[in-house]
Amino acid sequence: MLVDIFARQKRRKPKFELQTFYGQIQHLFVINFSAATRLDLNVMDDELIVILAAIRTCDLDGDAAPAGLDIHYYSRVGALHFVDVTNIQCLVGRVKDGNKWAIIDRSGSLARAVYVDDDNN
């Protein structure tokens, strides 16, 4: 996801940086807009369905992963965010390791989001 690194500095021009987030899907919401609402939104699709995911973020501990493995550790979860389900790139597994959880990400480089900045081309 693109995150404004100056979000806490309100008068500063935003600068966006691509960051990877891990979280647990808590709920899925399917919203079906009526014909009248579609006209208000200027959408001409026969059906306008939006699927939102309520995701509780995992606060990564920053522990070093074993060499060559894409493993991240967390011991607590953070805030609940509502996002369009199309923002979810891949599913990962988790394994309990003592007092923390290890996120096992076997998606590889093909599942990573790529952002091309059109302003710098």
> Would you state the pLDDT for residue 25?
93
- Written as six digits, the tokens of 69 are 């493995």
Please choose, from the candidates 47, 39, 41, 55, the residue with its C-alpha nearest in 3D space to the C-alpha of residue 91.
Answer: 55
> Would you state the pLDDT for residue 47?
66
Domain ranges of the chain: 23-116
| Residue for token pair 């609940």 | 80
What pTM value is reported for the model? 0.68
Residues near 74 by Cβ (< 8 Å), separated by ≥ 6?
22, 58, 59, 60, 61, 100, 101, 103
Query: For 39-92, how does the pLDDT look when each residue is reduced to its tens digit (9 = 90+)?
Result: 666 666 666 788 999 999 998 887 776 776 778 889 899 999 998 898 888 888
Does the structure show a pLDDT above 60 at 110?
Answer: no
Q: In what order do the strands lie in the sheet with 100-104?
A: 23-33, 48-60, 71-84, 100-104, 93-97
Please give the torsion angle defined by the CA atoms of residues 31, 92, 102 and 83, in that order, rounded to the nearest 10 degrees.
-30
